[in-house]
Structure 1
Amino acid sequence: MRYFFEDYAFDTDRRELQHGSSVVATTPQVFDLLGYLIRNRDRVVSKDDLVQAIWNGRIVSDAALTTRLNAVRSAIGDSGEAQRLIKTLPRKGFRFVGIVRESNKPSTAAVSGDPAGSPTPGLPIPNCPSIAILPFANLSSDPEQEYFADGIVEDITTALARFRGMFVIARNSSFTYKGRVVDVKQVGRELGVRYVLEGSVRKAGSRVRIAGQLIDAETGAHLWADSFDGALQDVFDLQDRVTSNVVGAIAPTLMLAEIKRAERKPTENLDAHDHYLRGLASVRLWTRDGNSRGLDYFRKAIQLDPHLAAAYAMAAWCYVRRKLHQWMDDPAAEIGEAKRLARQAVDLGQDRALPLCMGGYVLGLLERDFDESAALIDRSLAINPNSAYAWSLSAWVRIWRGEPDLAIEHAAKAERLSPLDPSMYSILAAAAYAHFLLHRYDVASSLAEQARRGNPNFVLGVYIAAASNALAGRIEVGQRAIAGALECDPGSRLSNLKNLAPFERPEHFTLFADGLRKAGLPD
């Protein structure tokens, strides 16, 4: 059996791990550990599972296990910090989260990216200039400046995405290539874009240099390359120059004036912007501690610049995540604060996509006013139609409002704009709910299973898997899903289901509750 993920091939018959045309040296134990994680990627495996499978039940110290896991991650270009392919779930275990393809065909050639040995089939190229902005290399002497380089890329991505004449891949998919040596032709195929922008950032004292190169992903030809130097306080102007040069290189007939109109400096206060970027880096760790640090950074950014709408929006979102994960210490006070921050974000960010989108969703979720929520997200998408995140949130809002057809359409747009999104499980789960409301239980259960593979702890995804399978007559499958949901959230009950699934239409809530009742969710 051969397993393919990213540009690696794991061959169990030849006991080889290949990266491109090279064989990666691994010890037998590291090879077996990686194989066990890949074969059991549909679930979280515990330390006891690993000890039993790899060490035949012998006593193994935590340090020894950590050392072997680090060696596995190193072999596949991952790390304990990034956890791009192997995720650690505190107090639960480990899970391989990469997208895997399987083949029973014998290995006859070097890894080409798919089981047949031919280039990976690509997504269709849009009929407009399409681009992916890859993570820029941090050339600063301080590795702590990584967040700054990532922030530069995020700002350039946002500026290009505002231009309606372009198709811009979402940041979440582009950043799956972070820390990897990539073939731009492969990137173009995997993301379905014609152009790729690479670059670097060097921050030294009060000076910044941003370098970029634009590449035709079909031919590999360099279309444009340049570097821009300036003082730190001019960083937004440098970003604007990169953006304008990219547009000028790939779409000379497009109106640069529209980009200039859309460009807005997020804040005049560079310290506030710095704290905002640090907050984004923290919350994207997707941990409780990262969420808490992010909230602290966003609050500090607000103190430094009380008009920074995006910081209010992200702070409100941090509170929502605390609510969804049951991390709140004082739910009533924290929910009240989240509403205040979200309202402030919307009031301050009348012409900004992120505050309108994020603030609108938080208000809808907490105030149960999904009409206002949908209107605010629609305004956000009018400003930035390339926001995969906004399309995803819009899909969820349409589900709660009882518009499943529209939810399917919006989820599909989110998936196309970010085909490698680490949060794809949320997009798939939204599509599953929409098909469920249309009584397409087999389609819903299939999508829910894909979502569950992406994140087995995403309770909304587990619930829709349980309900759709139960109503399709697969009661035992639904019961197993409910057991998983109760493991993630022991307090789950039909009586408090409205907190998690705020359907506006009574018939939709009744349908959902009926499916969960059949699957065994307690009253």
Structure 2
Amino acid sequence: MATFLEIALFGTCAVRLKARDTIEIRGAKHRALIAILATAPMGRRTRTFLQNTLWGYSGYDCGHQNLRRALADLRKLLGREFDTLFRTTNTDVELDLARLRFISDPSAGAFLEDLNVVEKDFRKWVAAIRENPAQVKTLCQSMPAATLRHSRPSVTMLPLGHLGDDPSLKALGDWIGEQACRVLSRSRFLSVISHLSGRAMAEKTTVVTEVQKTLGVDFLTTGFLRRSASGIICDIDFLDAKSGQILWNRNFQIANMSYLDDAAMQIEHIARTVAKSISDTAIASSRMQPLNDVSDQNLLISGVGLMHRATIRDFLKSRDFLSEATSRLPNLAETHAWLAKWYVLNVMKGYTMDQKRDTQLAIDCTAKALDLDPESSLSLTIDGFAHNNLVHDFSTADQRFESALDVNPNESLAWLLRGSLKAFLNDGEAAVSSNQQARKLSPIDPFNYYYDSLASTAYIAADDFENALVYANRSLTTNDQHLSTHRAKITALHFMDRREEARTAAEELLRIWPSYSLQHYERSHPVSQEKLGRRALKAMAASGIN
């Protein structure tokens, strides 16, 4: 029997699990939590939004614990069906709208008539819908096809197996699986099935087809532990869960069970490799198909992945994927936010044929994203990015970054771009501090060159030219087509009195962009007349750029 949730939003709020057995969800805040997700774009809300709406502004830790407890209650009540219905990350909670059935309409009574949740934000949210119930009424009548689509590939890591009955190996295998899931959950492009579900699954079976059928994952990471003379060998397999094909194998060694820092670094490397493999697979598949045949979950990951690659061909192709994503998933705020970022980068990279038009399109896209989800930390961040780099409205940009971090203190891109803004405002200390926080929270998605590039700019603002050069070189190793990184390298070398190397770096910039000039920089860069900009102009002029 198919698993789905029945929910009555009008009159008495009733929520029932319909599976092999019917289970009634009775807790007021548990029902309220599900109602909020059921009416959210793509069934997804940030943890911060849920915490503040249902438990008020009682402090991050208190709200965090309350939400965790509510989700744990639902997991205990629903059992293994919880992971069929819900997907959770460290930043948001998502309800699978394809498994939702609405069983009431406004004729049954007021919206959530019997839910007496006292928190101010919840009452305001209910009152706004009662004042204009048309949108929720439409949901109850029919669910638009676009909202039933999943925009993210799903993945999990099972605990690593072992031979015999060695409790230390069992604990280690479980810890590796848990750590890998935590690292993978930092990706905004993956839906990570919880480690607890993976553990429960591994206790029953590790047959790939059964795991795929039960957990609904697209990709699966598993492996085995074995002892050797020099320590413990960890063999890791990454599989396509639908076909069972092993995509790659990695192994690493743990020499000392009492010192696991090195193992944690290896696990992070493996998780990054998993994320990159999923991205590369999506892009390769998307390139081989007509646009109409590309799956929804591959559209967004391909669009964002290609947007951050080095060649202009990849960058221009990414717009096709992102535009298609906004057409297919019009109610998903992040599709519009990523398309806005494309327009910002199109101007910054110097590819635009109409800067005024692309600037307006970027602002229009972020406005659409924030209309759909005012609490989207990504949309707030990209809107700040557009105001900072295109509109040159630093005050509004700062407000957007602060709002994004209020919603989600772990939004690494907001910290990163806030650091860039602080560098523009000649606050080198704050620029470096924000950049370091961004790097601490750095996502595992494969565009870290951008974090390195903006780190270089932050260190220039802080007069630390040695570190500026280190990060510029590291960024260029990954992507040598990012103009501002070349500019940062020239500036760092010039102010370190390494003038010959600065001239060589300038020649490299002109080799890639032969028509680049000081006039172009003065005309297009938001802080060309500020301290940071004047330094760049002085360094480029002394290094042979006219």
TM-score normalized by structure 1?
A: 0.49
Over alpha carbons, which structure has the higher Rg? Answer: 2
